[in-house]
Structure 1
Amino acid sequence: MPIRAENRWLYPIDWQELSATIRFVRAGARCERCSRPHLRRVVHLGDGRWWDAEAGYWRSDRGRRVAVRERLVFASVRTTYVVLACAHLDHDPGHNLPANLSALCQRCHMIHAAAEHRWQRWWNLFRLRALRDLYEDPRLTRERMAGRR
């Protein structure tokens, strides 16, 4: 995932090399949660199960071999292009020890960061409301409300 310009200063100078080491040397160019391969198009069912073409069987969302018993409807089978990212497990970009970093595909990264993203959305909304309360004239707000009646 790209790093926002305002957060770039939080990452070390050698982040590119550190990220590449985690993704390609330690993880072997596969997601460390579900084992999806980097820069490959993968067939999946939308619920986390995906077809591992190299091994020749379906895998679960945790990378384990799984049997698909139900009959597959072609419309339910989708494809996605997998790109690995180096994720901070504690969501702190300043904590760059290898034990805190993990190579994750887009799906696993979004699932891992879902709570953090929800908190960030709440915080942005709270901050914007606080700024409005500080800088808007309450009389203008009352006049706008009176004009709506």
Structure 2
Amino acid sequence: MEDVTIRRGTIEDSEAFAYLMADLGYPTTSEEMRERLTYLLQDPAYVCFAACHSHEVIGMIGLMKNYFFERNGTYIQILLLTVSEHYRGNGIGKALVEYAEEWAIGQGCTAVVLQIGKQQHALHSFYRNINYDDTGLRFIKVLLS
């Protein structure tokens, strides 16, 4: 899609990010998103980027830089990727991932990792189509709810 720019996300994006979170299936108020961003954006390990069309935020990607335990070096983990339902299928998600990859290279990271629910088949296809390998299975045990 033409006329899409990607920039670093800011606290001022709280309302737009809350809308995107809700669109993804995680109902979030602007105030909740502002609280999250207040903490996340102060931590140098976290960063987010916003995709904008005509000054409207239409997508976001949230990243965390981390250290490998099993070898030397760092990697970026994609914690969140979402595009407004009205703009899906236009290459915006791919553009956000590519932007994150370039940013990660600039940070000296050697890999990008992410986790996807096993029921999210469309996302499996999305990541395979942009050359990500399916290398494992995620396990989780909720301790507090």
Smaller-chain TM-score range? Answer: under 0.3
Q: Say which structure is richer in helix.
A: 1
TM-score of the pair, normalised by structure 2: 0.25
Which of 1 and 2 has higher RCO (CA within 8 Å, sep 6+)? 1
Q: Say which structure is richer in strand.
A: 2
